[in-house]
Amino acid sequence: MPKEFNIGDVVELKKTHPCGSKEWEIVRVGADIKIKCTGCGRLIMLPRGKFEKDVKKIVSEGEKTSE
């Protein structure tokens, strides 16, 4: 599994959100990662380590950022 995530990527997490969706869009990348539920629009921030552990797969890729 790739450890590089970009803004706009849609990822599937292991656990289902209470709204029923498993897919989240990445809004912010850094030491913490901010994600938005594609089902209800809820925003949450997770530490990068927990986020990488919880990601099951990348559903679709967003924009590529050059650093």
Q: What is the dihedral of CA 26, 4, 60, 35, to 10 degrees?
A: -10
How much is the pLDDT for 2? 45
Q: What is the pTM of this model?
A: 0.83
What is the domain count for the chain? 1
Return the H-helix or E-strand segment holding 54: helix 48-54
Is residue 65 assigned to a domain?
Answer: no
Is residue 20 assigned to a domain?
Answer: yes
Would the pLDDT of 10 be above 90?
A: yes
Is residue 53 assigned to a domain?
Answer: yes
* Confidence bin at 61 (pLDDT 50/70/90): confident
How much is the pLDDT for 59? 86
Residue-wise pLDDT tens digits, 12-47: 999 999 999 999 999 999 999 999 999 999 999 999
Is residue 5 assigned to a domain?
Answer: no
Distance of CA 20 to the CA centre of its chain: 16
Q: How many CB atoms lie within 10 A of CB 16?
A: 11
